[in-house]
Amino acid sequence: MRRSRTEKGRRGKSTRNFGKVMKCLCSGEQLRAADEMVPSENESLATKDRTTSESSSRAVEITKKPHTGNIEEAESSLRESGCLNYEEARALLGRYEYQKGNIEAALHVFEGIDIAALTPKIKFTLARGGERRRRRSQSFSTPPMSINAVTLLLEAILLKAKSLQDLGRFKEGAQSCKVILDVVESSLPDGLPQNFGADCKLQEIVSKSVELLPELWKLADCPHEAIMSYRWALLHHWNLEVETTAKIQKEFAVFLLYSGAEASPPNLRSQMDSSFVPRNSLEEAILLLMILLRKFCLKKIQWDPSILDHLSFALSVSGDTRALANQVEELLPGFMDRKEIFYKLALCYYGADEDSVALNLLRKLLSKSEDPMCFPALLLASKICGENPSHAEEGVGFALRAVESLDSTCDHLKSTAACLLGISLSAHSKSAVAEYERVKRQAEALQALETAGRMTTMSDPIIHYHLSLEYAEQRKLDAALDCAKQMLKLEGGSNIKSWLLLSRILSAQKRFVDAETIIEAALDQSGKWEQGELLRTKAKLQIAQGQFKNAIATYTQLLAFLQVQSKSYGYGKKLLKSNGNFSGRLELEIWHDLAYVYINLSQWSDAEICLSKAKVINAYSANRCHATGVLYETKGLYKEAIRAFLEALDIDPSHVPSLISTAVVLRRLGDRSHHSYTVVRSFLMNALSLDRTNHSAWYNLGLLYDSQGTPSSSLEAAECFEAAVFLEESAPVEPFR
């Protein structure tokens, strides 16, 4: 008895609710009554439609029929009411089930709608509606459906796509969503007229479909279709809101940057010849992000800091951080903190290889009036100074301030500051005039690097690299070798610089076979575009072993590799700052190396050909002028050799090989006068002030002292010869750094 009453109560409640649905359907308040009855986060997309009071009364009668709440019975009742046809009834019932959260039931209802049969009517109705709005004429034939009915059916398709998304059937959902856009585009090829369908929210359906389609393709793991959908959304006239378009542009840019999908260039037939057309995903993402920044500068959209973050990443990958600096400088004041602007611009200019500009910006940021203890800025300033010996002392100061600014116990930050301090001290030691000062700075540099290593329990490969480098330059080769091996192990052989340093240390120990084995292992581990420097080192090792023919073959292989590489790099594939114009520089040095090989083999014509090839690449190269001078010197043409060496010094006054060669030829040509002795000595001392580890400079200085024949000069000559022997025995085939 109690159960029977409960069932009757439920049925009565269901009847009353359904009666409200029918009443609102056939009265003038479709949306309002439905939304009051069914709370929903998504406002219904069907719109108000005025009907007569007779329809309302019919609906009240019909609502008494579906007692069970069964979908089929309700559907039949709606058809019998005469106010909605079969498809519209299912569309409304499906929306009702979807709003209640009955996703599977809603999908079942939506799948009963024959969209293919309705599509021609929908297209005709939309086309007629668009023509009336454009021409403001009522002379057209009556469309087969009302705009409200079209809206109701398109909403059903959209909700079907969302239902499929909720059920994890993403590809089917995307195909369903695409139907809406296909219908609208084919009906209105010139786009939706302004305020078209404003009274029935057709525009809202289109906007939501445009946003949903690429998301569904992404969830379906169809990147190509997602990219096409994004382009479709942005290139067709959907009459979207500015904020909606900006949202789609940002999502598309993020997808292009991080999805790993490489898209074919867009086919922009409407573009003018002078317009920029992106040729790859990276360029397309950059273009989208720049458009968003421009919209912000024009105050069309709200400021979104993540846009600049994504653009920073994109332009850094492309190697064009100078363009990023321009974008930052064009931002409206007040949206970025002044200190943040200084630091970001410094990073941009440093990435663009404009170190002096970056350093000046950091100096402003680290001034007393700004933020003198800004830790990231201090680290970057110390790094820049450590790469330039003329600013090394300033770099030491920045690194010390960075250490002082740390009030936390973070060993990683402390070790980074200590590492940069060691790098700056090492660079600063090279400018020391007095020997004791140089030795002191080198000891301090080594101590700072060892401290950084202990802070990280010797687990940071970057610290290992600089520590190994410092040991090697101080000719502590066993310690350098141990560090290099540990570094290679930590990195798993993924860094070319580690392989090169290890092979150079082995070559300094005169273990040329082992060094060449390391290079061969590195060639097996590395990608084809990373093998240039490895092959050059292999050739140098072969020269050190007297294998000149093998070296020439390796250089020939390397030149062929560079030619293929230059053709393979497409538009926009710029190399990062760490490589600079790597291919061009490497090819230039290869021709110089080959010229020296042919000079040693007395093949003058081949050497001249190599030098002519180098001149085509760079007519103002100190290395090329020096090689030309060596060629003249070998032929006995000393005056021509002097001119070539002096030309090299005009290009680069700090070119150590030319300083030494000039001194050698002058000593051969000159007399034993004091003036000649002083000139030759000045050249050699200048060379040693720039490179204290150059064994050739020490040897020739010893010869100069020995030629004086005095007891004191003989003692000085002996010291020079001793230094020359030690340095030659521990000299690598290429400089460690």
Dist. CA 162–CA 165, nearest whole Å: 5
Instruction: Tell me the three state secondary structure of residue 430.
Output: coil
* Residue at 599 is within a domain: no
| Residues 68-100: tens digit of each pLDDT | 344 554 445 444 444 567 788 888 899 999 999
Dist. CA 731–CA 473, nearest whole Å: 10
Asked whether residue 118 carries a pLDDT value surpassing 70, the answer given is: yes
* Residue at 490 is within a domain: no
* Residue at 337 is within a domain: no
pTM across the whole model: 0.70
**CATH number of the structural domain spanning residue 160:** 1.25.40.10
| Residues 43-59: tens digit of each pLDDT | 333 333 333 333 333 33
Interacting residues of 44 by C-beta distance below 8 A, sequence separation 6+: 31, 34, 35, 95, 99, 155
| Residues 653-688: tens digit of each pLDDT | 999 999 999 999 998 887 666 668 899 999 999 999
* Residue at 171 is within a domain: yes
Query: Residue 568: pLDDT band by 50, 70, 90 thresholds?
Result: low
pLDDT of residue 481: 95
Asked whether residue 172 carries a pLDDT value surpassing 90, the answer given is: yes
Q: Which two tokens stand for residue 550?
A: 């093998």
Average pLDDT over residues 697-726: 92
* Residue at 659 is within a domain: yes
Average pLDDT over residues 426-440: 86
Please give the tally of structural domains in the chain: 2
Average pLDDT over residues 578-601: 81
DSSP state letters, 151-206: HHHHHHHHHHHHHHHHTT-HHHHHHHHHHHHHHHHHH-TT-PPTTTTGGGTHHHHH
Least confident of 67-76, 127-136, 240-249, 595-604: 67-76
| Residues 607-645: tens digit of each pLDDT | 999 999 999 999 899 999 999 999 999 999 999 999 999
Burial classification of residue 193, based on how many CB atoms lie within 10 Å of its CB (0-12 exposed, 13-18 middle, 19 or more buried): middle
* Residue at 60 is within a domain: no
Least confident of 225-229, 280-284, 512-516, 551-555: 280-284
* Residue at 605 is within a domain: no
Least confident of 190-194, 265-269, 676-680, 701-705: 265-269
| Residues 367-396: tens digit of each pLDDT | 998 989 999 999 999 999 999 888 999 999
Instruction: Tell me the three state secondary structure of residue 275.
Output: coil
Query: Residue 191: pLDDT band by 50, 70, 90 thresholds?
Result: confident
Dist. CA 77–CA 61, nearest whole Å: 10
* Residue at 17 is within a domain: no
Domain's final residue, options 211, 240, 269: 240
pLDDT of residue 322: 85
pLDDT of residue 83: 54
pLDDT of residue 672: 61
pLDDT of residue 614: 93
pLDDT of residue 525: 86
pLDDT of residue 129: 73
Query: Residue 327: pLDDT band by 50, 70, 90 thresholds?
Result: confident
| Residues 273-304: tens digit of each pLDDT | 556 677 788 889 999 999 998 898 888 998 88
Number of residues in the chain: 737
Q: Is residue 702 within 8 Å of 715, Cβ to Cβ?
A: no
pLDDT, averaged across the chain: 82
Asked whether residue 477 carries a pLDDT value surpassing 60, the answer given is: yes
Asked whether residue 575 carries a pLDDT value surpassing 50, the answer given is: no
Highest mean pLDDT among 62-66, 457-461, 487-491, 656-660: 656-660
Query: Residue 41: pLDDT band by 50, 70, 90 thresholds?
Result: very low
pLDDT of residue 52: 31
Report the sign of the C-alpha dihedral through residues 182, 184, 187, 189, in that order.
Answer: negative
What is the domain extent for residue 157? 69-130+143-191+200-240
Dist. CA 382–CA 360, nearest whole Å: 13
pLDDT of residue 67: 35
Dist. CA 497–CA 642, nearest whole Å: 36
pLDDT of residue 267: 67
Instruction: Tell me the three state secondary structure of residue 381.
Output: helix
Average pLDDT over residues 581-589: 77
Asked whether residue 442 carries a pLDDT value surpassing 70, the answer given is: yes
pLDDT of residue 724: 95
Instruction: Tell me the three state secondary structure of residue 269.
Output: coil
- What radius of gyration, in Å, describes the C-alpha atoms of the chain? 39
Query: Residue 120: pLDDT band by 50, 70, 90 thresholds?
Result: confident
Query: Residue 409: pLDDT band by 50, 70, 90 thresholds?
Result: low
Domain's final residue, options 240, 272, 298: 240
Q: Is residue 380 within 8 Å of 401, Cβ to Cβ?
A: no
Interacting residues of 581 by C-beta distance below 8 A, sequence separation 6+: 575
Angle between helices 375-386 and 355-365 (to 10 degrees): 150
Query: Residue 572: pLDDT band by 50, 70, 90 thresholds?
Result: very low
